[in-house]
């Protein structure tokens, strides 16, 4: 009797576990869901399409973080105006802060590159002004003829690495660029 009961329970357990195992992906196949950083571009109405293009460039280049326009949930805001310091980002590098786009600088340099470059700071990347045009974070270093608005493979990999464990708590805000820097 005990043997018959044991076999019945074992057979029943196999029928329940087998379908679950067949539908549950292996641990190696499970990938972390991307962190979403919400932004608001309403403070920079003259640069709406440039901001959207810069954001799209980042979204197509990284997998651990995605930028989505949602003013009511925004932790990142874009503004425009005139500032003798030029364009800059005020950020903690963890998806929080604001980006200021300077009119004069946007007339001189490719505006999509400016918005994508400053967004790179919000995602955690530093400036590298001595880099070539192929490096987005070289900013205006390569000069106004540089129109590359995409992060290179190293920059994309670094952002994915920085965001691999999700969004960190709000950190200390700092201004990056500005002070007459070439964005």
Q: Which residues are catalytic?
A: 118
Check residue 75 and report its DSSP letter.
S
* Cβ-based neighbour number of residue 41 at 10 Å: 24
Q: Is the dihedral of CA 53, 47, 139, 168 positive or negative?
A: negative
The Cβ of residue 139 has, within 10 Å, a number of other Cβ atoms equal to: 26
Kind of pairing between the strands at 97-102 and 88-91:
antiparallel
Beta bridge partners of 39: 69, 76
Lookup: tokens for 51: 């901001």
Are 122 and 37 contacting, i.e. CB atoms less than 8 angstroms apart?
yes
Helix (H) or strand (E) run with residue 62 in it? none
């Amino acid at each position: 009797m005990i043997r018959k009961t044991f076999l019945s329970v074992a057979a029943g357990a196999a029928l329940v576990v087998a379908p679950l195992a067949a539908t549950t992906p292996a641990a190696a196949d499970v990938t972390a869901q991307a962190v979403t950083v919400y932004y608001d571009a309403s403070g920079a109405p003259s640069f709406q399409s440039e901001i959207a293009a810069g954001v799209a460039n980042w979204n197509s280049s990284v997998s651990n973080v995605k930028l989505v326009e949602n003013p009511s949930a925004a932790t990142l805001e874009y503004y425009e105006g005139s500032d003798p310091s030029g364009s800059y980002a005020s950020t903690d590098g963890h998806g929080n802060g604001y980006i200021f786009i300077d009119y004069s600088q946007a007339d001189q340099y490719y505006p999509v590159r400016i918005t994508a470059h400053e967004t790179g700071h919000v995602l955690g990347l530093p400036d590298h002004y001595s880099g070539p045009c192929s490096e987005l974070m070289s900013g205006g270093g390569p000069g106004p003829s540089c129109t590359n608005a995409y992060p290179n493979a190293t920059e994309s990999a670094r952002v994915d690495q920085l965001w691999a464990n999700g969004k960190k708590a709000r950190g200390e805000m700092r201004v990056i660029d500005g002070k007459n820097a070439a964005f």
